[in-house]
Amino acid sequence: MSDFSFPGGKIYHNSIITQGDTSYALGRLSGGGQRQLLVKGDNAGFSGSSDHGTLICPLSAENAAEMRRRLPWLTPVPLGRQTSFGFGDRMGSATPGHVASLRAAVQDKPIAPIFAQQSVRENSRTGRTPQIVLDDAMWGVIEEGWREPWGADADHVKDVPDLPPFVAAGYTFYTIDPSDHVDNDAQTDDLATLRAKAEALPWDRIGTTYAAMFERYCAGTLQLKRLALDFDEEIFLRALVKYGRAVLHTTTVTAALDQQMAGKGYDLEMSVDETDTPTSIHEHYFIANELIRRDIKLVSLAPRFVGKFQKGVDFIGDIAEFEAELIKHVAILHHFDCYKLSIHTGSDKFSIYGIINQHARGYAHVKTAGTSYLEAVRVAAAKNPPLFRQMLDLAHQKFQTDRKSYFIDCLPEKVPFSRQLSDGQLPDLLEQFDARQLLHVTFGSILDTFGDELGRFIAAHEADFRRGLESHFARHLQPFS
């Protein structure tokens, strides 16, 4: 039953599946044409056109849903506390390369993949929907013959109205981002200001009194398994004022999510990484303790670490300081022993992956986003200079607008315009700090203008893209494997 033929195209042999009296495969029309689902046998529930006993189907949402109904490993699942890795994919074509990197790099210790991951902000910029993101990842899972558990991350959910499309699509990991409710000024407020802000907190919603909460944290040394914490009034107030409303907002969104999930299991992450100042170890303890006291079942927590975690480049900062602080954060992690540490903007942080793995000891989640997109841009720079030149020049035009939601150090004046470079010099830009960030943060404008052309080009050069992703992500994964 698995002897498929696809005139005018090729079959992805890893995708061939036979179950019962029905076989399935993915094929692609020649010349970088569309991928198609091929079904031989029981094709009820699929839509397509018949050709000599094979139903040739578009990769539609309806056909994706039927595949998930028939083959359970195509449905994402909660992954729990094990080491995990989020593969962002802004074009919907990177999952085969992500799978290849896992197979190449992961030997001794399994790493649980999240193949479908996109934030509300990213979807708004790419014009994709949660369903499209999940389906694209699922087709990549089929193409590579991946049968192990995988997850789907509704990333940076800001508020309750963001939830329904992710729930409807079947996401299993929800990253609640209450950063709009973090008081960044609390980092430097004087004591009188902190006291006034604390009095103004909605204590009816907090469910206790200031005096009771003060006693909880400041009555004496908090002796953890590997760390002693002393809260004085100022340290306590700074944590309370900075993160109190964020904790309440997380509770509100989680309650709505519980209702919408209607008993289905999911992994919950709370993220405060997109804030102005680092999360101190006292603040980490406060956040985790207050969420757990409210029966929020955290699987992952993303503090704002010291140093700079910027898009598309390595860690910027004092690595010794980062390690010293990480050890303390990990002590709090092991004290509560119910969640893992999440490293956001985690792509390309090669200098600290080994440190993270050494101290987190298996309780880590690394989240990447646009670095897969940059690998597609790299292929274009090498093999389609005219397209890359247009994308580079558009990035220069759109940078000041598109950069506004990102913390980056990019100096666009350090990036040459396309007219200043020979074709042979173009790929080198993907190794330069400022050029990587320039191209990274303008992805929405580039894909809006050139997305179709870039997608067709990558489809025609998918082997190059897959190899690039495999090599790039193997460097990310090996320190954790």
Catalytic residues: 155, 269
**Considering only CA atoms, which of 480, 222, 206 is closest in space to residue 352?**
480
| Cα–Cα distance, 469 to 182 (Å, whole number) | 36
Q: Where are the alpha helices (DSSP H) in 294-342?
A: 319-336
Residue appearing with tokens 């350090």: 414
| Cα–Cα distance, 37 to 263 (Å, whole number) | 33
Q: Where are the alpha helices (DSSP H) in 361-442?
A: 371-383, 385-402, 433-441
**Considering only CA atoms, which of 336, 333, 335 is closest in space to residue 365?**
333
What DSSP designation does 416 have?
Answer: P
| Cα–Cα distance, 468 to 456 (Å, whole number) | 17
Strands (E), 46-111: 49-51, 54-57, 84-86
What DSSP designation does 22 have?
Answer: E
| Cα–Cα distance, 106 to 108 (Å, whole number) | 6
Q: Are the beta carbons of 410 and 441 closer than 8 angstroms? A: yes
Percent helix / strand / coil, the chain, rounded to 5: 50, 15, 35
| Cα–Cα distance, 107 to 119 (Å, whole number) | 30
Strands (E), 401-470: none
C-alpha to C-alpha distances, 303 to 127, 141, 175, 286, 393, nearest whole angstrom: 29, 31, 12, 12, 36
Structure tokens at 15: 């995708």
Q: Measure the N-to-C terminal CA separation of the chain; round to a whole number of Å.
A: 37
Q: Are the beta carbons of 23 and 17 closer than 8 angstroms? A: yes
| Cα–Cα distance, 86 to 114 (Å, whole number) | 5
Q: Are the beta carbons of 11 and 27 closer than 8 angstroms? A: yes
| Cα–Cα distance, 397 to 402 (Å, whole number) | 10
- B/e letters for 300-325, b = 16+ CB within 10 Å, e = fewer, are bbbbbbbbebbbbbebeeeeeebeeb
Structure tokens at 253: 């969104």
